[in-house]
Amino acid sequence: MFSNASLGGDATLSGMLVLHHPDCFGDADEFPVLTPLQRIERLDDAARSTVVAEDPPAPRQDPPARIRISPSKLPVFQECQRRQWFETRGGLSPEPIASGGQAHSSKGMPDNVDPATLGTVFHRILEIGIGNPGLDGELASSPLPASWTERREDHLSDPETHSTAFTELLPPDADLERTRLLVESMAERIGSGPLGRMVERQSVNDHRLEGLRTEMPFHIALDVETIDSVRQRWSPEGPELLASMDQATIEMSGIIDLVLCTVTSSGDSTIRAVDLKTEDAGLIDNDSSEGLLETLGSEDAGPACEAELELLSKHRMQLALYYQALKSIEDARKAADLNCRTVLLPAILVGVTGRMVEYPKEMLDQASQELEELLVRTAGMALASDAPLSDFDRL
């Protein structure tokens, strides 16, 4: 066996395999069953071990995001941050779950005509009925589209104009007689007020009307800083940063009720945004001197009573936006070396008195600052992955 241990004759291989130690056998069980004590020891070893984690990669820098918001939402979002959160991140609708089913009849309103519907009707009457004196052969101090300067008769108090709006917008069961009375009164007061005198080519506060546009559409994009806005995702080691955004662009599209282009006696070209409001319309014929009716007949350019101040404050966000929209248009014309107009302070046309109430500069400046803060909050709320409700104040 020492010289040749092969067995079985010449056909067999030479040599003999000798397994002399347990290590010569392969490990048949690669995954042995651990005892409870072994499992506890392994868990303890893993818990006590320390692993040096690599630094996470820096979040990528994304280009400015574009966020859209409706101008009509600005006042309510400014008033209540949590409502903004519920509507934008919470997915809740601002509409009531169930309607009360009762017609609005308070404050002298016609039966089955709520204040919003009456406002829509009178906006339509202003759109199709307001006159335009045109240029009367003169050249505009700054070029205007032909549709802005086309001469048009004033039909604001025309019953046919009123009937057209009633047919288009009033519900079938509306109190037509009462609605007509309120509309005629507002049209008469606007016609005898500053706007009516301008339409008749009269100078008002040293401003003469050159052209106008009702229901002027606009689109504005405002850049805002969004410091610390980060997109992240969950991971077992903690939040994993994905993208950082330092800037966003807020886009808004809307319609300005009325835009007036005027010229002063010194030849200065101006443009102004005017917003029509029909608050307190139901009180117009009851000889009341409360609220907005307190200033009936006043010639003051600015707010002349507490009710007018409250009205201007309530709608300040929208008017600040309209002002910025016109200013961006005129600034673009100036940058292109084109004739441009000076943007005047915006104004509210009060339907029940016919007054055109100009915003005080201090109020407009404050509103512009609030608008910027609101847009920054809107961008942060839209972009950040973590924006809990608790971060936003209650009403």
144-187 pLDDT, tens digit per residue, is 999 999 999 999 999 999 999 999 999 999 999 999 999 999 99
Q: Is residue 46 part of a domain?
A: no
CB-CB contact of 136 with 180 (8 Å): no
Q: Is residue 140 part of a domain?
A: yes
Region 98-105: mean pLDDT is 49
Handedness of CA 327, 217, 92, 249 (dihedral sign): negative
DSSP 17-57: ----SGGGS--S-SSPPPPHHHHHHHHHHHHH----PPPPP
Q: Is residue 58 part of a domain?
A: no
Q: Is residue 30 part of a domain?
A: no
**Look-up: residue for tokens 């400014």?**
78
What is the reported pLDDT for 286? 76
26 residue type, one letter: G
What is the reported pLDDT for 14? 66
374 residue type, one letter: L
The model's pTM is 0.81
Q: Is residue 84 part of a domain?
A: yes
Instruction: Report which of 232, 240, 237, 262 is spatially closest to residue 344, judged by C-alpha positions.
Output: 262
Give burial (CB, 10 Å; 0-12/13-18/19+) of 227. exposed
Q: Rounded distance, CA 73 to CA 88, Å?
A: 11
Q: Rounded distance, CA 353 to CA 284, Å?
A: 8
What is the reported pLDDT for 61? 86
User: Which residue range is the domain that position 113 belongs to?
Assistant: 70-95+107-391
Is the confidence at residue 95, as pLDDT, over 80? no
223-245 pLDDT, tens digit per residue, is 998 877 888 888 887 888 888 88
Q: Is residue 65 part of a domain?
A: no
Backbone angles phi, psi at 390, to 5 degrees: -65, -15
What is the reported pLDDT for 105? 47
Q: Rounded distance, CA 258 to CA 340, Å?
A: 19
Write the CB contacts of 194 (distance below 8 Å, at least 6 apart in sequence): 204, 205, 354, 355, 356
Per-chain mean pLDDT for the chain: 89
Structure token pair of residue 96: 């009531």
Give burial (CB, 10 Å; 0-12/13-18/19+) of 126. buried
Q: Is residue 1 part of a domain?
A: no
Give me the number of domains the chain comprises: 1
247 SS3 class: strand
Q: Rounded distance, CA 84 to CA 50, Å?
A: 45
Instruction: Quote the DSSP letter at residue 286.
Output: T
In angstroms and rounded to an integer, the radius of gyration of the C-alpha atoms of the chain is 37
302 SS3 class: coil
Structure token pair of residue 31: 């995954």
Q: Is residue 275 part of a domain?
A: yes
**Look-up: residue for tokens 């509409």?**
95
Element (DSSP H or E) covering residue 364: helix 361-383
283-337 pLDDT, tens digit per residue, is 888 777 888 999 998 999 999 999 999 999 999 999 999 999 999 999 999 999 9
Q: Rounded distance, CA 212 to CA 274, Å?
A: 11
Region 371-392: mean pLDDT is 88
What is the reported pLDDT for 104? 46
